[in-house]
A and B are shown apart, each in its own frame.
Chain A
């Protein structure tokens, strides 16, 4: 394993509340990613980071923000959670950009928005 942890692993929250998910890596990888996985869909990229304080949007970024203040930590914030954001969220890291080198995935966070 590439030493990627996610916290919390499970969370139940109410519509309209802010939620922050944390990804922590010990591999010193430059690139970090947040994906969501929904039934019938592949993983979809929410945001990614290409260095400390350097982030960019993915294909489903609306309603999400990210921050990366240290190489090892990448935070995903749902500014005001909605039921459509109920999903499983995965963090990934890689030494090279995108899939030029293997991406390593964390165990996921299951989020339920009521």
Chain B
């Protein structure tokens, strides 16, 4: 069974600091990994999708890396802003059944 862990569960940083969010998974047989953002009371919005053959993916201030062999992904958010305050979830797509396994998320607060 695929287990996805995100540590820490919560993070508070001052505006302008770079954010580093971690995701680990137990089974390296994945098709891809996605990072999502969830605002309070809202659904999830996809931020980045990394295929298993890729090492990283970038979108604006966001950069996600993937080390499939060690079961780790990191989401970097450069020069954080108060608008980046949200919960960030990672999810891995299992190769055997094409179902997503989600982590519990890291709740980020960026202080102005």
Question: Is B42 interfacial (CB-CB < 8 Å)?
Answer: yes
**B47 — nearest CB in chain A belongs to which residue?**
A102
Interface size class of A (residues with CB under 8 A): 20 to 34
**Chain A stretch 78-114: residues in CB contact (< 8 A) with chain B:** 90, 92, 97-100, 102-108
With beta carbons under 8 angstroms apart, the residue of A42, A100, A102, A107 that contacts B89 is A42
Instruction: List 8 A-B pairs, minimum CB-CB distance, nearest first.
Output: A42-B102, A98-B98, A105-B43, A99-B93, A105-B44, A43-B102, A102-B46, A97-B98
Chain B contact-residue range equals 20 to 34
Cα separation A104 to B43 with both chains bound (whole Å): 9
Interface residues of chain A, those whose CB is within 8 Å of chain B, are: 4, 40-45, 48, 58-59, 90, 92, 97-100, 102-108
Assess whether A44 is in contact with B102, with CB atoms less than 8 Å apart: yes
Complex CA distance for A103 and B44, rounded to whole angstroms: 9
Minimum CB–CB distance from A78 to chain B (whole Å) comes to 20
Interface centre among B43, B44, B91 (most CB of A within 10 A): B43
